[in-house]
Amino acid sequence: MKKFIAVFFMFMIMLFSSVVYAIDDVPAIDQDTYEDEWGVDNICGPTVASEIIGYWGAHGYPNLSSDMDEVLWDMISTYIVRTSSGATYPASLITGIEEYAWDAGYEFEVTTTGKGKTSWSGLKAEIDAGRPVILLNYAWNHYVVVIDYYESGTTRTIDILYGHIPLKRTINVATLILSKLQTFYIVPITPPDNGVIIEDPDPSTEDWYEEVITWCEENDWELEPED
């Protein structure tokens, strides 16, 4: 019984210590600057991959570099294989992000809806969970990062990082051709290193603590004796 109570308290601490991240602080990269300086073209694939890495590096995965120059160069030179024309195939984008995270000591899972299968409900669920989404628009021949969404009646819009000035743009979903869209979900599998200490915790200062104590007493659950 005592073991169950300890596990129950540990679960409650982890649940209430979880963090919902703001999506508006994803680093925005102007790919035109790098294309001019480095003499490479069509680097939207490495750009969105770097923006995703930069976001998670600042939100629980500190081994990921926060130096966008460094991350973007690594993506272009090592992790993302591009065609002779500079195009990034979806499979290369997926493996590039996963391998970069793996080399930093983390496991990330990148999945795709496939072309023409982008879901509004799926996109909303990812943003609500604090995870920016990559969108490939074949009509634009361009990768972007979705960082927010809005609904007003039947109107649906998304905020995206576009890679070119202006870097942040708001797009009406009705103007997009759904059959030309492909979505990529990036989910960290490794638990975040967000500074939450769950060993030998002292939850007594948490708002939920007294409620849990009361429930245990009312239902005759045994509590650990105080030292």
- Domain regions of the chain by residue span: 1-19+198-227, 20-193
* pLDDT band, very low/low/confident/very high, at 11 (cuts 50, 70, 90): very low
Mean pLDDT of 81-95: 95
| In the predicted structure, residue 4 carries a pLDDT above the cut 50 | no
CB 112 within 8 A of CB 172: no
Q: What confidence score (pLDDT) does residue 163 get? A: 98
* pLDDT band, very low/low/confident/very high, at 225 (cuts 50, 70, 90): low
For residue 58, what is the DSSP state?
T
Q: What confidence score (pLDDT) does residue 223 get? A: 65
Percent of the chain with pLDDT over 90: 73
Q: What confidence score (pLDDT) does residue 6 get? A: 46
The residue with greater pLDDT, 24 or 10, is 24
20-193 is a CATH 3.90.70.10 domain: yes
- Give the pLDDT confidence of 165-182 residue by residue, as tens digits: 999 999 999 999 999 999
Question: Order of strands, edge to edge, in the sheet holding 108-112?
Answer: 108-112, 181-188, 133-137, 142-152, 155-161, 168-172
Q: In Å, how far are 11, 45, 180 from 177, measured between CA atoms?
A: 44, 20, 5
- Give the pLDDT confidence of 90-148 residue by residue, as tens digits: 999 999 999 999 999 999 999 999 999 999 999 999 999 999 999 999 999 999 999 99
Q: What confidence score (pLDDT) does residue 216 get? A: 79
Which tokens hold the place of 18? 């979880």
